[in-house]
Structure formats: structure tokens, C-alpha cells
């Protein structure tokens, strides 16, 4: 038998001779081979093999069985040489399997790990990442997969730990090389798989912090703190605590002034050879006449060349951005501006990474094109790609050459084309971000966004030309409806400019009529048809990333977070994070606020078109999961910020739904602050798709947050939507609940007739359904309406009626407080104070801090009216502090106004000014009428 013999234990135990895999027999026979391989060129005695195969229940014929396995393995593996000596040799009372360099994967893995660790110690972090990628690529699953016995299990543990060491080393190298995005992905996976490993969490915090995500880094620490306390009852270790403290104080030594990127040394190069007939290429295509904008990006590009006289010029620059944003236009414009700095020539090569009509250039085809541009005959070239790449580096060494590689698909396509020195400049354009070129090859990235409004308007004006009368208002609207995307602007301008009877007004009318579709941007040429251009990027995605790209368009909000995305596609979060990273890299989505993702307007239209073509059951299942995610997560958050409201049983989530838990008031309130718009969008989606159960649940859980943050009109609209769903479901208790909530909302907006109608309806329905406590709550709200209208006697009657109906401590505490306010309106401030203090006691028993804050405000008012100004100020400040902690800006502002009134009575105008000024700041955009009254107070009392 001929051919090199290779073995693998990092996965199933396997063997090959040459390219042919060998059949190694049953599991225990493979176990014998594994024992011999893992001793790595050392003798193994027969008793050692027996112990490895049978810890207990060893057969009496164990030694005979082992020798039988060795005999069979020798036959499978063949002879080691033509002399006939066996690969497995007999040595004493045992056996020895000799493996050569590169023939055993675990030995190669250890060697790669050791070399990478040495590279890291030398500061060559990018090289270390490459070496570790190669080493980790040897793994094909769990080590010794399918091999039974305790020996195999103990070796698996040892090898898995070795793999973990390599992964940690890779994460460290990525962080030190400045590849923070890659490090975050890896460390997110590692912390998910090893949640109690503090070293991984420490590295994740450092990567996030260096990536400019300080709050996310601190969140990782807090989550670690909570996890360790819950699981082990301990605090984070000293290393993690020290890093946390350094992040808190902004330790400047945590962030290097510039990520150190050390490229791996190039392979051995061919000697420099003089080539006959060498030419000076001048190949740059013409740039776009009337280039517009991009001044900031051009300045950044110029800055990369500012050190060229010292030989420190940046040699690789990647221009990236979404499809149609003008990458090639920018790169050509810049290349023409600097062409005279490269006297040895300028080469242009389109690698057709996203070409609709022609196949993508292979690396060898691209190399051949470069050699052809340099006048090198194919007969002079080596045979294989690696040697050709080395030959290219030799050929251009020392030359001042500009190479523009346009429309690159990925880093692997372009890396062999890069010169090795620093005298040449390579400009790469790609829809993908090609961050590995930055990490491994020291490239700089210039990311292009859509044009500014002014530049978009200027571009449209330039493309239309002087022959078309133009209205600046129409131009501005067209530019915005094109999403300020250069390609879309060019398509619309070309239609107007080339069609004599198609006016600017007609183009604008068409864009308005076709809002929500891409038909206005169609063109017979696929290269400039916006829909086709986007499709090329989507076709390059992995299948699950393409699916996620479409499903995210079902989400109606401007942005969504990773949990919503995971629920849409029904896949685990770690995988979805990688898919989102793929979409980000392809510039099909972009990150807005940390952890939130969104489309460009025109890309959203394209994604929505694709989503509309999905099978109906796939769309409905995705929407169901998304609504489950929001309804259940919001109910958890609402319970955290308002635990004393009557609760309803949560729905059972569909498989694949990510449910978020809220661990603190601040976290839950912050979640609502971020997600209330997506929640309202989800409610709209639920209405249109017929998910009425989700509609009323979403309306219900939004109630507390919207009310406490002064979004009363949004709250009314939400409750009206919830009521309509309750009507469709025929649930009278639900109907009454929304009538009551609508009544309260109308009271807040002083729409008293509407409020009265809803409240009377709610009370009637509650009483018919036997819901006494809820009816009592309705009477209490009706009493508030009477008090607002100035009928204190009617308010007192209704509050007492509510108290007679219910023993619910929350309703009673609220009603007693409001009853005290009603007595205060009649001038009986002593009775008011007595009742409010009783309410305060009840709130304390219940543990409702929001109720306590409301009542402290009432206590302050009673003291103020009794002339107890010091006690009034103390009560008001207690209420203000609590409202501030709970995020209730409306009530915080109201109490600040009351405090200012009390301080004026106490002859403290400076204190009043401060209180009213704070109130004015809080009321901005919330309650214009109240804000106007505060301004009047400031004017009347403090001018």
C-alpha cells in the first residue's frame, strides 16, 4: 500500500492513506488505536491497553482480545515500508505506533497552539489568530467521538480543555489585534457555553469596552455578579472586579491608542525576475463627472497617505457600504485624485463579486489579469496559486503602483492579490465589510453611508442637468424618497433626463403613488436596477441569514433587537447573533443604538417584497413567535414596575420564542423606554394578522409605562385598540377593563364627558359580571372625575361607595388617599391629613412605592394648607425622590410644582425657582398646558 498515513482523534477516530479513508472496525478496536495514538510515539504495554478498555467487567481473555485488535489494525493500516515492517511495532510487552510530522491532528494542533502562543508573546497578534484558526480548524466535533470507556472520557476532558485554551488564546489575540467585533462573537459563544468561566467574561468586557460599548461591558459584569451569586453564592474574582473598577473610572490604559495589527509573514517569495515587455498600466475608468459630497471620507482617505514620504503609507484601504451607496464612484474619484503619486501605473480590476450576469473571478483568474496588466506572459508563471501570489509580490516590490480591486466578494478572494510592501496602494471596494482584512492584513476601512440631505439634493440637481426646469422643493422630496441613496437618485434622474415628456413633477407623483414598492427604481439594465442590485447581496448570504433578512421585514418598528430577531426566525440567540453579524458585514442592515438593528428605507422595501413571497404558514408562524416574544416579555416587565395590579395568566410561548425576564425596576422601565414603540408596532401587526389575544395583552401591559411617562394620547389609542379586540373576543370583563382605563385617560386629558361615559359603562359591566373589586375601582375613578370637575361632595360619596364595596388593600389605599384630597378641597385639611397618613400606612403594608409617592404628595399638600411648610417640603421631597427613582416624570413634575408653591409660602423664592425650573424641564414635550402654568409662576413670583 502506498501513500502518506494520517490519523485524527479530534473528532471521530479516523485514518487515511493518501486520500483514501481506512475502515478502522468496531468502537473498541478504534479505542485501541486511540490509546496508541495518544501516547504519541511512546510504548504502551498490554496491561495499559486493557485498563483503558475495561475498568471493570474485564473478560478473562482480555489480553487475547487486545492482541486480536492489534492484528486487525496492522492489516488495515498496512506496512510502514517496502521491507514489510508494521506501522504498529512490538516493543517488549507492548506496542508502539510511530507517527511522523503532520500525520496526527492532535500533535499538529499542539504545535499550532504553541507557535501561536509564541507569536502572541512577541506581539504578533494577527499572526496568532491565523495560526489558531488553522489549529482549531482541525477539530471535527467532540474528541474521540464514538470511542467508549473511561479512558476515552478522561482524554476527552483533557483535549476539550486544550481546545478551550486555544479558544481563549484566540480571543486574547483578537482583542489585542483590535478585532473587537470578531472577539465579541467568539466570547459571546464561549460565555454561553461556559457561563461560570470568569476569564471569558473578563475578555468579553474588555472587547466591548475597547469597541466603544462601555454600558454593555458593565452589563456583562452585573450579569456575572448576579449569576455567581445565584449559582455559587460568591462574588466575582479579583481580576474581574479590577477590570470593572478600571472601566468605571475610564482607565486610559485599557484602550490602546491604535489597535496593533501585525500581519502574518508572507510565504517564501520567488526571486525577482526581469520581465521582457513590461508595461506601465494606466487603467482607471473615467470617474463620474460632477462628483458630489463625501468630503469627510475623502479627507480621511487622504490622511491615510499623509505618511507616504516616510514609507509608512497605508497599503490597503477597503471602501465598504450598502449596495448602491456609491463605493466605486468614490474609489474612482479618489484614485484619479492621487494617480500622479503612483508613477509605476494604476491597475483597475473588477472581481465581479456581486455581478448578476457574469461569474465571480476566481483568485487565479484575478492573478492572471494582474499579470497581464503588468505585461507578464503566462508562460513565465508558476503553476499553483500560492507561488503565483508570491511571484506577484516579487514583481511589484519597490514599485509605486495603485491597484483598484472593485466589487470584491470576500477577503479570501482579494488576499493573494495584495503586494507585500508599503510602496503600493490597494483600494478595495465591497458590499461586505471585509473586517478580516483589517485584522489580518492591517487594512483601513472607509464606510460610506447614504448622502446627506444637501448632497443628495446637489447630486439630483447635477444628474438632471440645466435642460430641466427644477423646483427645489420637488427636488428635495425626490431625494428623500430615494432614501438619499446615490443609485436610486441616478435611476430617477436618468428617467427624467432621457424621457422628454416625463417631467420632474411626474416623477415625484410616481414616487408618491408607489410608496412602499421599488417599481419607481426599476431599469432594464440589471446593473442599475435597485431591486436587482440588492438581490445580488442577498444571494451571497448563507441560507439562514437570507431567511432572517426577509423575516425582519415583518417587524414594523424602525428597529428591532436580537431577541426579537431570534424569535422571528425561531433559532437560538448565539446563532442569530452570528446571522446578524453576517447581515451587518454584507451592509444589508446597520446597527443603530447598541444592540438594535435596522434597514435602510429602500432595503426595507426590498426585504418586505421578499417577505411577502414567503409561504403563508412560514410568515404567520414567524409573526406568532414575534408577538409571543413581546407579549410575554412585556408582561414580565410590567409586573416588575407595577406588581400590585391584578395579574393575568401569561400565554404559552411557541417553540423558538425568546422570553426576556426583568430583574429590577430600572431594567424593566428601561426596557419599556426602548421597546414601547416596537410594542405599539407589534400591536398594529397583531390587529392586521388577527391575533386578538395578543392585541389586548399588549394594550394592557403598555398601560402603566405610557401613563407614568405622560404618553396619554398613545395610552388612549392603545386602550381603544385593546377594547376593539375585547369586543371581537366577546369578553365582557376585558371590555370593562378597557372602558375603565379609557375613562381614566380621558380624565387626565380633561375630556370629562367621554370619561364619564366609559366609566359608567365599565362599572355596569363589572357589576353584571360580579367583579366587585373592579367595580369599586371604577367608582374610585369616577370619584376622581367628580373631584376634577370641582364636585368634592360627589367625589367623597363615590370614594366611600368604593370603600364599602372592596377589601382589596391596593384599591382601599388609593381611595383613602383620594378621599383625603377631596376633604382638603372642602377646606378640612386636618381630616385630609389623617386620611392620607392612614393611606400611607396601607401602602407601606402593601409595599407599593408608587402609591406611597402619590400619598406623600397628598400629605405635603395637607401640611402646606395647614401652614406646616417645613413638613410640607419634607413630604414633597420624599415624593419627588421616589417618583424620580420610578421614572415617573409627570408626577415628579407635578410634585415639584407643589413644592415650589410651598417654598414661596415659606419665603424661599430661590428654592421655589429651582423646583419650578426642574418641573419645566421635565414637562417639556409632555404637558404643554402645565408647562405654561409653571412659566406663569416663574414670571409672577420671581421676575
Residue that has been written with the C-alpha cell 392620607 in this structure: 836
What pLDDT is attached to residue 35?
87
CA dist., res. 221 & res. 209, Å (int):
12
Among 138, 137, 136, 116, which residue's Cα sits nearest to residue 126?
116
Residue 335: phi and psi, rounded to 5, are -60, -40
Cβ neighbors of 368 (< 8 A, separation 6 or more) are 378, 381
Among 172, 239, 169, which residue's Cα sits nearest to residue 210?
172
DSSP 118-131: HHHHTT-HHHHHHH
Rounded to 5°, angle at Cα 719 from 695 and 723: 65
The CA distances from residue 881 to 446, 631, 888, 910, 925, in Å, are 47, 31, 10, 20, 21
Residue 282 near residue 343 (C-beta atoms within 8 A): no
Residue 422 near residue 397 (C-beta atoms within 8 A): no
Residue 20: phi and psi, rounded to 5, are -100, 125
CA dist., res. 649 & res. 739, Å (int):
21
The CA distances from residue 164 to 114, 141, 686, in Å, are 14, 13, 45
CA dist., res. 569 & res. 551, Å (int):
7
What pLDDT is attached to residue 734?
93
pLDDT tens figures, 305-340: 765 444 455 688 999 887 777 788 888 888 888 888
Among 835, 838, 772, which residue's Cα sits nearest to residue 805?
772
Residue that has been written with the C-alpha cell 493573494 in this structure: 416
CA dist., res. 895 & res. 898, Å (int):
5
Q: In what order do the strands lie in the sheet with 94-97?
A: 44-45, 94-97, 88-91
What pLDDT is attached to residue 879?
92
pLDDT tens figures, 371-383: 878 877 666 677 7
Low-confidence ranges of the chain (pLDDT < 70): 1-3, 55-57, 60-61, 79-86, 257-279, 286-290, 306-314, 355-359, 377-380, 465-471, 490-534, 536-537, 587, 592-594, 600-602, 925-929, 941-943
- 3 state DSSP class of 256: coil
How far is the first Cα of the chain from the last one, in angstroms, to the nearest whole number?
104
CA dist., res. 394 & res. 13, Å (int):
43
Length of the chain: 943
Residue that has been written with the C-alpha cell 414637562 in this structure: 923
Neighbours of 770 (CB within 10 A): 9
The CA distances from residue 507 to 478, 501, 522, 587, in Å, are 8, 11, 13, 28
Neighbours of 898 (CB within 10 A): 23
CA dist., res. 767 & res. 772, Å (int):
6
CA 496 to chain centre: 40
Among 781, 696, 759, which residue's Cα sits nearest to residue 731?
696
What pLDDT is attached to residue 927?
66
What pLDDT is attached to residue 524?
42
Q: In what order do the strands lie in the sheet with 14-17?
A: 5-8, 14-17, 20-21
Q: Which residues pair with 8 in a beta bridge?
A: 14
Helix (H) or strand (E) holding 427: strand 425-430
What pLDDT is attached to residue 373?
80
Q: What percent of the chain has pLDDT over 70?
A: 86
CA dist., res. 587 & res. 603, Å (int):
10
SS3 per-residue string spanning 623-650: HHHHHHHHHHHHHHHHHHHCCCCCCCCC
Rounded to 5°, angle at Cα 611 from 610 and 615: 110
What pLDDT is attached to residue 470?
63
State pTM to two decimals.
Answer: 0.55
Residue 721 near residue 737 (C-beta atoms within 8 A): no
What pLDDT is attached to residue 284?
81
Among 80, 53, 78, 83, which residue's Cα sits nearest to residue 65?
53
Amino acid at each position: 500500500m502506498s501513500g502518506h498515513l494520517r490519523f485524527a482523534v479530534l473528532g471521530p477516530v479516523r485514518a487515511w492513506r493518501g486520500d483514501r479513508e481506512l475502515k478502522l472496525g468496531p468502537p473498541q478496536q478504534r479505542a485501541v488505536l486511540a490509546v496508541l495514538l495518544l501516547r504519541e510515539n511512546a510504548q504502551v504495554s498490554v496491561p495499559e491497553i486493557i485498563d483503558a478498555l475495561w475498568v471493570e467487567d474485564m473478560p478473562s481473555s482480555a489480553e487475547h482480545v487486545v492482541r486480536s485488535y492489534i492484528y486487525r489494525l496492522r492489516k488495515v493500516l498496512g506496512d510502514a515500508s517496502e521491507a514489510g515492517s508494521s506501522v504498529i511495532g512490538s516493543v517488549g510487552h507492548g506496542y508502539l505506533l510511530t507517527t511522523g510530522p503532520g500525520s496526527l491532528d492532535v500533535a499538529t494542533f499542539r504545535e499550532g497552539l504553541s507557535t501561536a502562543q509564541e507569536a502572541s508573546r512577541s506581539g504578533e497578534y494577527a499572526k496568532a489568530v491565523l495560526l489558531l484558526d488553522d489549529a482549531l480548524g482541525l477539530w471535527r466535533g467532540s474528541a474521540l467521538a464514538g470511542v467508549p470507556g473511561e479512558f476515552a472520557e478522561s482524554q476527552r476532558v483533557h483535549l476539550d480543555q486544550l481546545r478551550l485554551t486555544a479558544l481563549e488564546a484566540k480571543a486574547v489575540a483578537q482583542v489585542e489585534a483590535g478585532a473587537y467585533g470578531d472577539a465579541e462573537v467568539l466570547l459571546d459563544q464561549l460565555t454561553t457555553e461556559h457561563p461560570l468561566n470568569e476569564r471569558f467574561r473578563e475578555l468579553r468586557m474588555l472587547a466591548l469596552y475597547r469597541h466603544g460599548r462601555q454600558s454593555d461591558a458593565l452589563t456583562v459584569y452585573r450579569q456575572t455578579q448576579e449569576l455567581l451569586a445565584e449559582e455559587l453564592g460568591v462574588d466575582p474574582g479579583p481580576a474581574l472586579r479590577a477590570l470593572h473598577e478600571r472601566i468605571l473610572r475610564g482607565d486610559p490604559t485599557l484602550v490602546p491608542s491604535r489597535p496593533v495589527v501585525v500581519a502574518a509573514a508572507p510565504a517564501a517569495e520567488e526571486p525577482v525576475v526581469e520581465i521582457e515587455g513590461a508595461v506601465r498600466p494606466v487603467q482607471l475608468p473615467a470617474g463620474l463627472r460632477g462628483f458630489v459630497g463625501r468630503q469627510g471620507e475623502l479627507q480621511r482617505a487622504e490622511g491615510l497617505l499623509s505618511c507616504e514620504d516616510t514609507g509608512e503609507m497605508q497599503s490597503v484601504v477597503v471602501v465598504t457600504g450598502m449596495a448602491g451607496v456609491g463605493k466605486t464612484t468614490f474609489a474612482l474619484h479618489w484614485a484619479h485624485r492621487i494617480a500622479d503619486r503612483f508613477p509605476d501605473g494604476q491597475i483597475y480590476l473588477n472581481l465581479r463579486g456581486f455581478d448578476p450576469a457574469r461569474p465571480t473571478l476566481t483568485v487565479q483568474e484575478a492573478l492572471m489579469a494582474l499579470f497581464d496588466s503588468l505585461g507578464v506572459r503566462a508562460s513565465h508563471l508558476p503553476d499553483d496559486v500560492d507561488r503565483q501570489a508570491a511571484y506577484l509580490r516579487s514583481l511589484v516590490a519597490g514599485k509605486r503602483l495603485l491597484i483598484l480591486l472593485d466589487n470584491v466578494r470576500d477577503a479570501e478572494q482579494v488576499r493573494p492579490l495584495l503586494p507585500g510592501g508599503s510602496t503600493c496602494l490597494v483600494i478595495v471596494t465591497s458590499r461586505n465589510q471585509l473586517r478580516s482584512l483589517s485584522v489580518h492584513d492591517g487594512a483601513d476601512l472607509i464606510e460610506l453611508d447614504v448622502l446627506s440631505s444637501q448632497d443628495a439634493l446637489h447630486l439630483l440637481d447635477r444628474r438632471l442637468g440645466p435642460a430641466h426646469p427644477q423646483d427645489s422643493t420637488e427636488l428635495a422630496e425626490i431625494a428623500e424618497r430615494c432614501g438619499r441613496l446615490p443609485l436610486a437618485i441616478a435611476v430617477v434622474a436618468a428617467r427624467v433626463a432621457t424621457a422628454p415628456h416625463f417631467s420632474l413633477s411626474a416623477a415625484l407623483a410616481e414616487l408618491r403613488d408607489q410608496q412602499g414598492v421599488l417599481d419607481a427604481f426599476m431599469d432594464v439594465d440589471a446593473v442599475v436596477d435597485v431591486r436587482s442590485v440588492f438581490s445580488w447581496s442577498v444571494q451571497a448570504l448563507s441560507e439562514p441569514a437570507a431567511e432572517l433578512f426577509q423575516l425582519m421585514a415583518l417587524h414594523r418598528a424602525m428597529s428591532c433587537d436580537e431577541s426579537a430577531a431570534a424569535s422571528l426566525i425561531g433559532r437560538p440567540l448565539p446563532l442569530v447573533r452570528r446571522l446578524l453579524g453576517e447581515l451587518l458585514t454584507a451592509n444589508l442592515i446597520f446597527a443603530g443604538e447598541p444592540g438594535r438593528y435596522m434597514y435602510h428605507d429602500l432595503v426595507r422595501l426590498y426585504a418586505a417584497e421578499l417577505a411577502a413571497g414567503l409561504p403563508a404558514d412560514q410568515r404567520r408562524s414567524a409573526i406568532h413567535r414575534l408577538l409571543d416574544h413581546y407579549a410575554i416579555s412585556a408582561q414580565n416587565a410590567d409586573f416588575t414596575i407595577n406588581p400590585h395590579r391584578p395579574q393575568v395568566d401569561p400565554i404559552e410561548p411557541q417553540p423558538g420564542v425568546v422570553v426576556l425576564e426583568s430583574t429590577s425596576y430600572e431594567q424593566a422601565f428601561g426596557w419599556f423606554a426602548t421597546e414601547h414603540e416596537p410594542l405599539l408596532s407589534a400591536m398594529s401587526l397583531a390587529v392586521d394578522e388577527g391575533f386578538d389575544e395578543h392585541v389586548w395583552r399588549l394594550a394592557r401591559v403598555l398601560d402603566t409605562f405610557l401613563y407614568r411617562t405622560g404618553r396619554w394620547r398613545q395610552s388612549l389609542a392603545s386602550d381603544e385598540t385593546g377594547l376593539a379586540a375585547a369586543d371581537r373576543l366577546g369578553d365582557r370583563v376585558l371590555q370593562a377593563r378597557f372602558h375603565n382605563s379609557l375613562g381614566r385617560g380621558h380624565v387626565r386629558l380633561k375630556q370629562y364627558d367621554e370619561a364619564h361615559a366609559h366609566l359608567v359603562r365599565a362599572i355596569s359591566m363589572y357589576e353584571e359580571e360580579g367583579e366587585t373589586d373592579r367595580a369599586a375601582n371604577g367608582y374610585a375613578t369616577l370619584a376622581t372625575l367628580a373631584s376634577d370637575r370641582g364636585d368634592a361632595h360627589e367625589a367623597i360619596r363615590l370614594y366611600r361607595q368604593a370603600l364599602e364595596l372592596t377589601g382589596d388593600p391596593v384599591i382601599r389605599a388609593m381611595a383613602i388617599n383620594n378621599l383625603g384630597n377631596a376633604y382638603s378641597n372642602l377646606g378640612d385639611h386636618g381630616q385630609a391629613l389623617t386620611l392620607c397618613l392612614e393611606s400611607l400606612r396601607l401602602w407601606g403594608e402593601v409595599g407599593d412605592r408608587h402609591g406611597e409617592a402619590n400619598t406623600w404628595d397628598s400629605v405635603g399638600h395637607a401640611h402646606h394648607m395647614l401652614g406646616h411648610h417645613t413638613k410640607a417640603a419634607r413630604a414633597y421631597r420624599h415624593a419627588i425622590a421616589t417618583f424620580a427613582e420610578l421614572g415617573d416624570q409627570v408626577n415628579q413634575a407635578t410634585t415639584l410644582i407643589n413644592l415650589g408653591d410651598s417654598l414661596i409660602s415659606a419665603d424661599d423664592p430661590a428654592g421655589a425657582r429651582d423646583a419650578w425650573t426642574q418641573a419645566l424641564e421635565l414637562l417639556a414635550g409632555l404637558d404643554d398646558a402645565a408647562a405654561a402654568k409653571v412659566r406663569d409662576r416663574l414670571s409672577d413670583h420671581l421676575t
